[in-house]
Amino acid sequence: PPLHWLAIAAVVVVVVVAVAASPTTANGPAAAAPSATDAAEDDDDDGGGGGGLDGVFPFRAIQLYNTVAGYLEYIFDIVIAPITGGVSNKKQVTSRVSYKKFQIIRVLPSDEDEVLDLEAMSEEPGVQVWMPIRLNKTADLVLPPSVARDVKQFLTQREINFVVLSSDLERSISKQNPKSPSLNQKSELKATKGHVMTWNRYHRYQDILDYLMYLSENYPHLVELLPIGKTIEGRPLKVVKISSGQTRENVVKPAIWIDAGIHAREWISPAVALFILRQLVENKSYRTLVSEIDWYILPMINADGYEYSHTVDRLWRKSRRTAANKSGRTLWDMSYGCEGVDLNRNWDWHWAGVGASQDPCSDTFAGSHAFSEPETRAVSDFILDHRDRIQVYLTLHSYSQMWLVPWSHTKKLADDYDDMMYLARQATEAIQKVHGSQYQLGTTPSLLYTTSGCSDDWAKGKAGIKYSYTIELPDKGMYGFLLPAEKIVPTGKEIFTGIKSIAKSILKINSMKEKTKLIG
């Protein structure tokens, strides 16, 4: 039919244009964390590879293939699919992503040239950066089997130190979480405990919701579930308020906010949030903390991405928003069909600045505008409604064992930097006394990279919460995002100890303020 010939002609034109426009050096998927160059204040990016990679990686053909394939998919979805009723393979693929024979390597650049070489290498197709590339600091890279050999050869030629942490990432993934209990075992757990939640495995979102419901039903004098909205795929977002309801006359109880799971693959963060929740509610020895402080805990912000990381792609980071809106798109817009927004780049504080991407295919895509996502809007609205009482904002991430203070978007220190550091230092010292774990303490730019649109900066800058922190949970890289489930309890214990230190400090500060008022 004439329509088919028209489509074929369009394909030919696109192929010719793609060949002519194909760049000399390929740009692979954006890394999970910005590179050292991206972290610079000027945030310049010429899009090129550089670093002496020409001739080492023959990726021009691969980039050309990807470019043409993307255009063909776009034409299929825009021109042919509406007529034939079909959909592209990209929309159909829901089978589990395999990381068989993918490797994790740790590199240590010792000079600026090596940093530039590694940054260029990290932009090649399929290479992921788990920890950012910094001078005299270790960086963790994930290599697909198609490039692993060439990458290691390249590092050897450049005399860049590296070690292989995992020779088969899929095998590491399979070892992280124990096998899910059978239906009979779940029924038995529910019959004996009232819920199926344990702290020796990573649970699915429905298990988490069921546990929250269990707490609210069995501890109604302490626990209240506050629905604050839904995810892009319709999953409920529920904040757990823990409060005894008691307060002294004319004294407004302070509140502490804790959230987790903003990045899907960081399974340890919601697990630790749930551990903290359990301690505050079910452990009577902490009743004083509950009677003097109200706690707002959101164990999971990115529920859609978290579920996707369980069912399809273990290393998925973003939300599940799709950039498939066809209106206004052209053949040159290759973001069609890319999915997800980095919810920790979507906050209305220096949104879309340094360290955030406006490319929907990037792992650090900041969204179409600040608070474009229902998840971040729901959380920010709730915090703003309660900001007169929330004195501490804590957001749990992984990995690297760091306690981070604002700002993230600039290397300039906050005016009350010393105050924030004082409480954080007490917390990290308390953590170390539990199992000996050492947490680095400082700003995000000083320890990792400069980035913008983050929740901790927004909580401090817009919501006015003085003590705003990001806690990067274990480990320091041996497991990375794949921390074994057996680490949930020890990690939960030490982090809860640090948070208790913060809570006690807040009570002391408030007590001193009250005494000052009385004296005045």
Neighbouring C-beta atoms of residue 184, cutoff 10 Å: 8
Given a cut of 80, is residue 286 above it in pLDDT?
yes
CA 501/CA 465 separation, integer angstroms: 18
Given a cut of 70, is residue 3 above it in pLDDT?
no
Query: What are the beta bridge partners of residue 170?
Result: none
Convert 111-129 into a string of H (helix), E (strand) and C (coil): CHHHHHHHHHHHCCCCCEE
Q: What is the pLDDT of residue 63?
A: 43
Q: What is the pLDDT of residue 79?
A: 52
Do β-strands 294-298 and 440-443 pair in parallel, antiparallel, or remain unpaired? unpaired
Given a cut of 50, is residue 26 above it in pLDDT?
no
For the residues of 72-93, what is the DSSP string, one character each?
A: HHHHIIIIIHHHH----HHHH-
Mean pLDDT of the residues in the chain: 84
Residue whose entry in the numeric block shows the structure tokens 């005045």: 520
**What does the pLDDT look like over 385-441, one tens digit per residue?**
999 999 999 999 999 999 999 999 999 999 999 999 999 999 999 999 999 999 999
Q: Which residue has better confidence, 221 or 63?
A: 221
Query: What are the beta bridge partners of residue 223?
Result: 242
| Amino acid making up residue 237 | L
Distance of CA 208 to the CA centre of its chain: 19
Q: Which residue has better confidence, 272 or 187?
A: 272
Strands in 467-473's sheet, in edge-to-edge order, are: 223-230, 236-242, 294-298, 255-260, 390-398, 467-473, 402-405, 440-443
For 173, phi then psi, to 5°, come to -60, -45
Domain with CATH 3.40.630.10 in the chain: 183-323+339-519
Residue (of 12, 14, 18, 8) closest to 80 by Cα position: 8
CA count, 13 A, side-chain hemisphere, 392:
32
| Amino acid making up residue 182 | S
Q: What is the pLDDT of residue 33?
A: 41
Q: What is the pLDDT of residue 477?
A: 78
Residues 477-502, mean pLDDT to the nearest whole number: 97
- The end-to-end CA distance of the chain, in Å, is 89
Domain with CATH 3.30.70.340 in the chain: 2-174
Strand (E) or helix (H) holding 396: strand 390-398
Given a cut of 50, is residue 59 above it in pLDDT?
no
**Is residue 489 classed as helix, strand or coil in its secondary structure?**
helix
Catalytic residues: 472
What is the torsion angle, in degrees rounded to the nearest 10, for the CA atoms of residue 31, residue 33, residue 37 and residue 40? Answer: 150
Q: What is the pLDDT of residue 9?
A: 62
Give the class (CATH, top level) of 2-174. alpha beta
Given a cut of 80, is residue 1 above it in pLDDT?
no
CATH topology for 183-323+339-519 is Aminopeptidase (3.40.630)
Q: What is the pLDDT of residue 225?
A: 98
Q: What is the pLDDT of residue 105?
A: 97
Neighbouring C-beta atoms of residue 306, cutoff 10 Å: 30
- Listed range (50-54, 396-400, 451-455) with the worst mean pLDDT: 50-54
Strand (E) or helix (H) holding 392: strand 390-398
pTM of the model: 0.83
**What does the pLDDT look like over 354-392, one tens digit per residue?**
999 999 999 999 999 999 999 999 999 999 999 999 999
Convert 314-360 into a string of H (helix), E (strand) and C (coil): CCCCCCCCECCCCCCCCCCCCCCCCECCCHHHCCCCCCCCCCCECCC
Q: Which residue has better confidence, 71 or 92?
A: 71
Specify whether the CB–CB gap between 319 and 231 falls below 8 A: yes
- Structural tokens at position 453: 């649109």
- Listed range (173-177, 328-332, 461-465) with the worst mean pLDDT: 328-332
Given a cut of 90, is residue 327 above it in pLDDT?
no
Burial class of residue 152, CB neighbours in 10 A (0-12, 13-18, 19+): middle
Q: Which residue has better confidence, 330 or 153?
A: 153
